[in-house]
Structure 1
């Protein structure tokens, strides 16, 4: 039970990677705070007897973020782990990118990560002298977008997605330098093409990968679990690519 009695907030917990992370955490003994815009009913069914708290709302709203953290403290008295997972991905190219889509991806992927990170660290993790922040970024934030099949013009994750995930990576490193003195680590998992709602209906050619298949949410959750555990106490500011080897030069 690598996370026995620890309290973990997971955003985007209703499905995909967030759901798998929540279930794995619960199996390892964690109390899980499920955060999403949509109902987490299916995730709750998978948690078994694990203690949980469901918080539904817009992670881009500072008041909602504060309310989630306050409810977490009221119910569980503390918070040990934060997984910033929820995200959106537009596939419009630069010519067709709208300000609305740009702001949506930046606000959901980067702004919300900042809001939650700030809210759990100050004062809670800082006072406890312990914490684990795990941000889900993307190899798109490292290489400018994962190419998929289909539409040649809009066949990869768009500039807003790549920019937001690049920002998550930079923020991860900055936060790690700032909070290590409080016993808090901050790391990021950077998935490649993974079978979630974001990639549903988008054909991916994985033949150029060392591991010729799409990633599964469990592949990403396994990496998150390591960063969230006490085993990673000497690991911070790391960006772990879980991408089937697509980033190999």
Structure 2
């Protein structure tokens, strides 16, 4: 069955050239959306894959930490497609270093990429574009590390994500809620998806004990993509400021 609930919608996905971001882009396309991929890596191969399926897709190579590059991308997407309906802030880095050994460069990289990048793209998409439209969806990718203080999938302390990653992902949740309160009257929603351990090229060499999870498997990129599409879809127009945990029950309160 062909899904068309996002037909006519333009979705921008950061970090969309591979892994979870590419799965998100594919899922949004499968529901009828046009997709713009932004990545610090060359997005051309991912874009071609989508275009070969008859999908309207385009790519921009940019550093999400750079205000000028972010504004160039957002304005470029609007120039190409006419609007931005859904922004997915997915781009991220993860320094797996404990507090004792955390260095300034890793701390600043994770905070700048994960949190500042989310801020810059959100600001650029809303003002002026989504505000002028009177509509829009912001979906930010956080992590259960931002909820549980860096606990790993086993529910044990001393988690694998590192303090910079946990701090940045917790900051995304707080920022998302703040934005939700600010832009609700503009017809814009702001929500977060918080993945647990997900099998991607970035995690394929990591050991994730799953004893603390209700569902005893690693998450798949498609699991996260489905949650993002849900929050981007027409059935969630009255949902904002929320964090949807997609973690196999690792973060059950």
Report matched runs for 1:72-83 at 5 Å: 72-83=77-88
Q: How far does residue 39 in structure 1 lie from its aligned partner after superposition?
A: 2.1
Q: Structure 1 residue 65 and structure 2 residue 70: aligned? A: yes
Q: What does residue 33 of structure 2 align with?
A: 30
Q: CA 1:153/1:95 → structure 2, altered by over 3 Å: closer, same or farther? A: farther
Q: What does residue 143 of structure 2 align with?
A: 138
Q: What does residue 167 of structure 1 align with?
A: 171
Task: Give the match's secondary structure for 1:54.
Answer: strand
Task: Give the match's secondary structure for 1:92.
Answer: coil
Q: What does residue 47 of structure 2 align with?
A: 44
Task: Give the match's secondary structure for 1:35.
Answer: strand
Report matched runs for 1:11-22 at 5 Å: 11-22=14-25
Q: In the aligned structure 1, how far is the partner of 2:188 from the partner of 2:92?
A: 24
TM-score after normalising by structure 2: 0.94
Contact 2:150 2:158 in 1 (8 A): no
Task: Give the match's secondary structure for 1:95.
Answer: helix
| 1:195 counterpart (177, 192, 199) | 199
Q: Structure 1 residue 206 and structure 2 residue 210: aligned? A: yes
Aligned length: 247
Q: What does residue 109 of structure 1 align with?
A: 114
Q: In the aligned structure 1, how far is the partner of 2:201 from the partner of 2:147?
A: 21
Q: Structure 1 residue 241 and structure 2 residue 250: aligned? A: no
In the TM superposition, what whole-angstrom CA distance separates every residue of 1:27-75 from its partner, at most 9, and x where no partner exists? 1111100100112244234421111110002111111100001111111
Q: In the aligned structure 2, how far is the partner of 1:248 from the partner of 1:167?
A: 20
In the TM superposition, what whole-angstrom CA distance separates every residue of 1:2-46 from its partner, at most 9, and x where no partner exists? 110111100011111110110111111111001001122442344
Q: In the aligned structure 1, how far is the partner of 2:230 from the partner of 2:212?
A: 28
TM-score after normalising by structure 1: 0.95
Task: Give the match's secondary structure for 2:170.
Answer: helix
Q: Structure 1 residue 9 and structure 2 residue 12: aligned? A: yes
Q: In the aligned structure 2, how far is the partner of 1:101 from the partner of 1:200?
A: 21
Q: In the aligned structure 2, how far is the partner of 1:196 from the partner of 1:27?
A: 21
- Which ranges of structure 1 fall in alignment gaps of 5 or more residues? none
Task: Give the match's secondary structure for 2:100.
Answer: coil
Contact 1:93 1:153 in 2 (8 A): no
| 1:220 counterpart (224, 239, 243) | 224
